[in-house]
Amino acid sequence: MIAIASDHGGFAMKQFLMQRLADKGIPFEDLGCYSEDSVDYPVYGVKAARGVADGAYERAVLICGTGIGMSMAANKVPGVRAALCADCYSAQATREHNDSNVLCLGGRTIGPELAWKILDIWLTTPFSGLEKHARRIGMVMELDD
Ligand code: RB5
């Protein structure tokens, strides 16, 4: 199960991506927000990120205007490795190299079709498992302690 969440800046893109996920039969839970009314992105980003850290969700997708605020908030949650992606190569590399468990997207910076391509690649690309990448991830995760 993946979580998906946004603020008002990512609301339209969240609606679009949820339709694509549903079309593909990928289970997800919508953690809000639920309209284009202005809200505070940390509320939604941290809720989803904590859900990933707690094991309630395998991964999460967070969308705000730029994806930047969501990535800042999510990366404050111990156990979370959030990656802001605006291109397909980064989506693939952050799974293979960083084993990222949260994807952040900018609802105002990229179009919906590119966002879907990025999300699809991110969801389907496994971690490489290479020792050098595991070691580097370990070094980053030690900072949580
Ligand atoms: C909201 O206007 C905007 O600041 C937010 O969506 C996001 O881009 C923050 O990083």
- Would you say the pTM of this structure is higher than 0.95? yes
Count of helix runs (H) and strand runs (E) in the chain: 6, 5
- Between the CA of 103 and the centroid of ligand 1 the distance, in Å, is 16
CA–CA separation, 70 and 63 (whole Å): 7
Is residue 145's pLDDT more than 90? no
Cα 70 to Cα 7, 45, 107, 136, 139, distances in angstroms: 9, 6, 11, 23, 23
Query: Is 97 one of the annotated active-site residues of the chain?
Result: yes
Interval 20-36 mean pLDDT: 98
Per residue in 29-38, pLDDT (tens digit) is: 999 999 999 9
The order of strands in the sheet holding 2-6 is: 28-30, 2-6, 59-64, 102-106, 82-84
Is residue 116's pLDDT more than 90? yes
Query: CB of 65 closer than 6 A to ligand 1?
Result: yes
Mean pLDDT value across the chain: 98
* pLDDT class of 134 with cuts at 50, 70, 90: very high
